[in-house]
C-alpha cells in the first residue's frame, strides 16, 4: 500500500493496481508498472498501448525488471509507514484492491465497479481521468447495481413493470411508464413489508399452535396406550390365573372320573371272580358226584346240584369309560374364538378414534364382555365362572 506521508509515492506506485510496484518494469515511453500488471493489461487489450500516455506500440516490448528502481522500491517499502486500517468484518464491504488481508472499503466507484479502502481511492482524487468517476458509499456486488443495457447505475423504479431502471431506461424502453425514485418505492414497499411480516408472524404462530395441538394429542394417545397396556396386563394376568385354575379343575375332574371307572371295574372283576370261584366249587362237586357208586347219595345230592348257583346275567353288563377325547380342545377353541372376537373390537390406529363404549361386567371383573366357554368338566354342559 502507498503511504500518504511520502512525497515520492507516485514514483513507486503502479497506476494499474494502485499499489507499491512489484517487480517494476519500464515501458519505452518511460512509465513504470508492475510486470504482472502490464502483462495482464496487454493480454486483455488488442492494441498494445501505455495505460497512462496511450502511446501505441506496434510490437510487444520485451520488458525487463528495472533493477535500480526495484532496489529503490524495496528501500521505500522499508521506510514507509503504513497507516493502520480496520480489517473487513463479515457484514462489511471489502476492498477489491487489497492483496492478502482485505481491509474495509470506504468508497465504491460506479465506473470502475471497484470498492476501495482508505488508501486505494487516492488516484481518483489525483488523476484527472479518474476524478470524473462517481464515488459513493461502499456497496457490495456493484455489477448487480448497474443497468446491463446502458451501463448506468439503477437509481429509479418502474412501477408499471416492477423493475429497477437507469436514467436512460426512462427515456427509451420505459418512456411512457410510471417511474419513481428507489427511495420512494422502498417506502411503499416497506409499508407492504410490514403487512407481510405480520401475516408471516401469524402463520408462524398458527403453526406453532398446531404443533402444540399435535403434541398434546400425541401425549394423550400415549397416555391412553399406556393405560390400555396396563389394563391388558391386568386382564391377561387374571386370564392366566383362571386358565391355571381351569386346568387344575379339569385335571381333578378327569382323575375323579378315572378313579370312579377304575372302582367300577374293580367291583365287577371281584364279583366275576367270586362267581367263578362258586362255579368252580360246583364243578368240583359235580365231578365228584359223577364218580360215586352210591345210588342213594347220588340221587339225594343231584337234587341240590341240578340248579346252578345264583349269578348275574353278564350279557347286559358292560363298562363304558367316559370319553376324554376333544373335550378340552372344544372348550379351548370356544375360548379362543371368544378372545379373537374381543380383540377385533380394538380400534385400528389408522382409523379415527371413537369414544370407548361402556364396559360390561366381565368374567374376570376387568371389562371382558365375551361369552364364557363351556365348563371344562367331563360330561358337563353348563356354563360356569372360573371363580366358582
Q: Which residues contact 55 (CB under 8 A, 6 or more apart)?
A: 28, 29, 49
CA angle (126 as vertex; 121, 132 as ends), nearest 5: 80
Q: How high is the pLDDT of residue 352?
A: 55
C-alpha 184: how far from chain center = 47
Chain-centre distance for alpha carbon 155: 48
β-bridge mates for residue 240, sequence order = none
- Averaged pLDDT for residues 105-109: 84
Give the pLDDT confidence score for residue 387 in this predicted structure: 42
pLDDT tens digits for range 85-97: 556 667 678 887 8
- The length of the chain is 388
Report, as an integer, the average pLDDT of 136-146: 76
Is 360's pLDDT higher than 90? no
Whole-angstrom CA distances from 182 to 148, 164, 177, 188, 189 are 18, 8, 15, 10, 10
pLDDT band with cut points at 50, 70 and 90 for residue 266? very high
How far apart are the C-alpha atoms of 209 and 215, rounded to whole Å?
Answer: 10
User: In this model, does residue 366 exceed pLDDT 90?
Assistant: no
Q: What is the mean pLDDT of residues 229-249?
A: 89
Q: Are 378 and 350 in contact (CB under 8 A)?
A: no
Per-residue confidence band for 227, with pLDDT thresholds at 50, 70 and 90? very high
Residue 219: pLDDT band by 50, 70, 90 thresholds? very high
**Residues 1, 13: Cα–Cα separation, whole Å:** 9
- The Cα 179–Cα 161 span in angstroms is 10
Which residues are within 8 A (CB) of 372 and not within 5 positions of it... i.e. 6 or more apart?
338, 363, 383, 384, 385
What pLDDT sits at residue 234? 92
SS3 at position 87? strand
Among 386, 376, 373, 375, which Cα is nearest to 328's?
376
Highest CATH level, class, for 1-83 = alpha beta
Say how far apart CA 231 and CA 209 lie, in whole Å: 33
pLDDT at 45 over 90: no
Average pLDDT over residues 153-160: 85
In this prediction, residues 68-90 reach a mean pLDDT of: 67
Q: How confident is the model at residue 246 (pLDDT cuts 50, 70, 90)?
A: confident
Tell me 80's DSSP state. -
Range in 38-47, 128-137, 356-365 the model is least confident about: 356-365
| Residue of 356 and 250 predicted with greater confidence | 250
pLDDT digits (tens, 9 = 90+) for 288-347: 888 888 888 888 888 777 777 788 888 888 888 777 666 677 777 777 787 788 777 766
pLDDT for 225 beyond 70: yes
Helix (H, G, I), strand (E, B) or coil at 154: coil
User: What's the confidence (pLDDT) of residue 80?
Assistant: 54
pLDDT of residue 220: 94
Q: How far apart are CA 210 and CA 53, in angstroms?
A: 72
CATH 3.30.40.10 residue ranges in the chain? Answer: 1-83
- Three-state DSSP state, 79: helix
Residue 166 neighbours by CB under 8 Å, 6+ apart: 146, 147, 149, 150, 152, 153, 154, 155, 156
Other beta carbons less than 10 A from residue 57's beta carbon: 14
Q: What is the mean pLDDT of the chain?
A: 78
Q: What is the pLDDT of residue 143?
A: 72
Rounded-to-integer distance, Cα 228 and Cα 231, Å: 5
Tell whether the model's pLDDT for residue 276 goes beyond 70.
yes
Local confidence band at 84 (pLDDT 50, 70, 90 cut-offs): very low
Q: Which residues pair with 165 in a beta bridge?
A: 156
pLDDT in the model for residue 348: 64
103 pairs with which residues across the strands?
A: 87
Strand partners, 87: 103
Asked whether the predicted pLDDT for residue 205 surpasses 70, the reply is yes
pLDDT digits (tens, 9 = 90+) for 117-127: 877 877 887 78
| Least-confidence region, from 65-79, 157-171, 175-189, 368-382 | 368-382
The stretch 110-132 carries a mean pLDDT of 80
* DSSP per-residue codes, 221-278: HHHHHHHHHHHHHHHHHHHHHHHHHHHHHHHHHHHHHHHHHHHHHHHHHHHHHHHHHH
Share of residues in the chain with pLDDT > 70 (%): 81
355: pLDDT strictly greater than 80: no
| Between 143 and 283, the higher pLDDT residue | 283
Amino acid at each position: 500500500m502507498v503511504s500518504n506521508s511520502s512525497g515520492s509515492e507516485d514514483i513507486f506506485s503502479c497506476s494499474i493496481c494502485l499499489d507499491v510496484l512489484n517487480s517494476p518494469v519500464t515501458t519505452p515511453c518511460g512509465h513504470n508498472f508492475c510486470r504482472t500488471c502490464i502483462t495482464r493489461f496487454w493480454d486483455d487489450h488488442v492494441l498494445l498501448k501505455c495505460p497512462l500516455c496511450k502511446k501505441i506500440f506496434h510490437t510487444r516490448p520485451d520488458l525487463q525488471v528495472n533493477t535500480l528502481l526495484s532496489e529503490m522500491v524495496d528501500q521505500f517499502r522499508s521506510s514507509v509507514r503504513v497507516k493502520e486500517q480496520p480489517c473487513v468484518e463479515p457484514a462489511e464491504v471489502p476492498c477489491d484492491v487489497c492483496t492478502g488481508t482485505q481491509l474495509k472499503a470506504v468508497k465504491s466507484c460506479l465506473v470502475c465497479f471497484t470498492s476501495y479502502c482508505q488508501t486505494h481511492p487516492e488516484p481518483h482524487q489525483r488523476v484527472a481521468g479518474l476524478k470524473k468517476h462517481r464515488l459513493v458509499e461502499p456497496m457490495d456486488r456493484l455489477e448487480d447495481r448497474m443497468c446491463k443495457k446502458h451501463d448506468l447505475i439503477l437509481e429509479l423504479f418502474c412501477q408499471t413493470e416492477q423493475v429497477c431502471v437507469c436514467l436512460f431506461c426512462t427515456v427509451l424502453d420505459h418512456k411512457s411508464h410510471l417511474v419513481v425514485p428507489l427511495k420512494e418505492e422502498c417506502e411503499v414497499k416497506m409499508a407492504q413489508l410490514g403487512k407481510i411480516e405480520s401475516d408471516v408472524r401469524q402463520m408462524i404462530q398458527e403453526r406453532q399452535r398446531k404443533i402444540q395441538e399435535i403434541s398434546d394429542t400425541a401425549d394423550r394417545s400415549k397416555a391412553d396406550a399406556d393405560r390400555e397396556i396396563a389394563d391388558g396386563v391386568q386382564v391377561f394376568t387374571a386370564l392366566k390365573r383362571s386358565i391355571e385354575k381351569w386346568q387344575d379343575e379339569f385335571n381333578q375332574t378327569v382323575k375323579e372320573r378315572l378313579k370312579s371307572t377304575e372302582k367300577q371295574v374293580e367291583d365287577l372283576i371281584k364279583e366275576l371272580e367270586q362267581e367263578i370261584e362258586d362255579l368252580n366249587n360246583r364243578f368240583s362237586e359235580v365231578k365228584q358226584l359223577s364218580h360215586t357208586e352210591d345210588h342213594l347219595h347220588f340221587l339225594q345230592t343231584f337234587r341240590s346240584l341240578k340248579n346252578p348257583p345264583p349269578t348275574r346275567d353278564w350279557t347286559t353288563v358292560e363298562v363304558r369309560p367316559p370319553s376324554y377325547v376333544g373335550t378340552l380342545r372344544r372348550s379351548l377353541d370356544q375360548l379362543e374364538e371368544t378372545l379373537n372376537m374381543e380383540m377385533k373390537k380394538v380400534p385400528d390406529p389408522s382409523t379415527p378414534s371413537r369414544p370407548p363404549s361402556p364396559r360390561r361386567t366381565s368374567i374376570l371383573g376387568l371389562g371382558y364382555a365375551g361369552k364364557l366357554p363351556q365348563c371344562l368338566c367331563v360330561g358337563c354342559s353348563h356354563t360356569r365362572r372360573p371363580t366358582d
